[in-house]
């Protein structure tokens, strides 16, 4: 969205969700829209995040946005390791020859998380498998590997309060859906994996979101699952009434997060 489009969307969202104070709501606009969205949400409960970040504070990295720049804008959250920045698309809409442009790795995700934590910005870590990996029965292996790579070298206190989003790549923009019980199972798997990498108390405090075609027609069922703390909302967040309906369907006081 352009800056005016993003501003109009957030202004339309605000009246519909201000009364739902038990739900943490974060909007993550493109970089250029962050200042305007921060201004609009200044006196509201809505937090603002970024869609990505570069891990170096400064230097000769033309075109990159550093954690220090995001901190200067008072950004609260930042998405890292999204399937698209990893070059893992559910539905590829760019020439296959250009996929190398999307070259995120577990190492760069790890560097971004550490850089964001240094600036007191909460990372929203995305993990998930492709359709080929699921069909090959490698789902748990892939997700565990992504978690280990992303959290490498972090102390338990740094993991505490982290947000992790399970986004099955095969359910993004493909029309395919992940059944709520399977989404719940994988979110539980993520929590148990975090417990082995950090501590059980830490894992209990980590918010586990589901992100894979979350929409008003399935959010009630998804948020009713015990291991799902909220949603990483994609296309459905671009329509104010639909996004508000998703936020209002979050029933666990103080827990679910709609992004």
- CA torsion angle 167 169 170 176 (round to 10): 40
* 84 has catalytic annotation: no
- Cα–Cα distance, 51 to 27 (Å, whole number): 9
- Cα–Cα distance, 133 to 174 (Å, whole number): 16
Give the chain's count of helices (H) and strands (E). Answer: 11, 8
Contact, 99 vs 87, CB < 8 A? yes
Q: Out of 39, 140, 167, 179, which one is annotated catalytic?
A: 167
16's enclosing H/E stretch is helix 3-17
- Cα–Cα distance, 249 to 22 (Å, whole number): 11
Cα 226–164–86 angle (5° rounding)? 135
Token pair in block for residue 220: 């009630």
Q: Out of 82, 104, 129, 133, which one is annotated catalytic?
A: 82
Token pair in block for residue 99: 């996929």
Q: For the chain, how are helix, strand and coil distributed in percent, rounded to 5?
A: 45, 10, 45
* 167 has catalytic annotation: yes
Pairing of the two strands 24-27 and 47-50: parallel
Cα 89–73–111 angle (5° rounding)? 50
Catalytic residue numbers read 82, 167
């Amino acid at each position: 969205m352009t800056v005016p489009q993003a501003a109009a969307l957030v202004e339309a969202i605000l009246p519909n969700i201000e009364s739902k104070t038990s739900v943490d709501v974060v909007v993550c606009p493109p970089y250029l829209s962050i200042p305007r969205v921060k201004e609009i949400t200044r006196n509201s409960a809505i937090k603002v995040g970024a869609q990505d970040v570069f891990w170096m504070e400064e230097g000769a990295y033309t075109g990159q946005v550093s954690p220090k720049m995001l901190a200067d804008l008072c950004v609260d959250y930042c998405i890292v390791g999204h399937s698209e920045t990893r070059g893992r698309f559910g539905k590829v809409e760019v020439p296959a020859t250009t996929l190398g442009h999307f070259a995120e790795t577990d190492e760069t995700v790890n560097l971004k998380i550490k850089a964001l934590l240094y600036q007191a910005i909460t990372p929203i870590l995305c993990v998930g498998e492709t359709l080929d990996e699921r069909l090959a029965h490698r789902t748990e292996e892939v997700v565990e590997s992504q978690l280990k790579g992303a959290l490498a070298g972090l102390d338990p206190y740094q993991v505490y309060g982290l947000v992790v989003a399970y986004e099955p790549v095969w359910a993004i923009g493909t029309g395919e859906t992940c059944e709520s019980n399977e989404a719940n199972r994988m979110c539980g798997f993520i929590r148990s994996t975090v417990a082995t990498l950090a501590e059980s108390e830490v894992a209990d405090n980590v918010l586990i979101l589901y992100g894979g075609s979350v929409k008003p027609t399935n959010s009630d069922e998804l948020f009713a699952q015990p291991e799902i703390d909220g949603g990483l909302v994609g296309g459905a967040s671009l329509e104010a009434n639909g996004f508000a309906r998703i936020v209002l369907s979050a029933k666990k006081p103080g827990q679910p997060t709609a992004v």
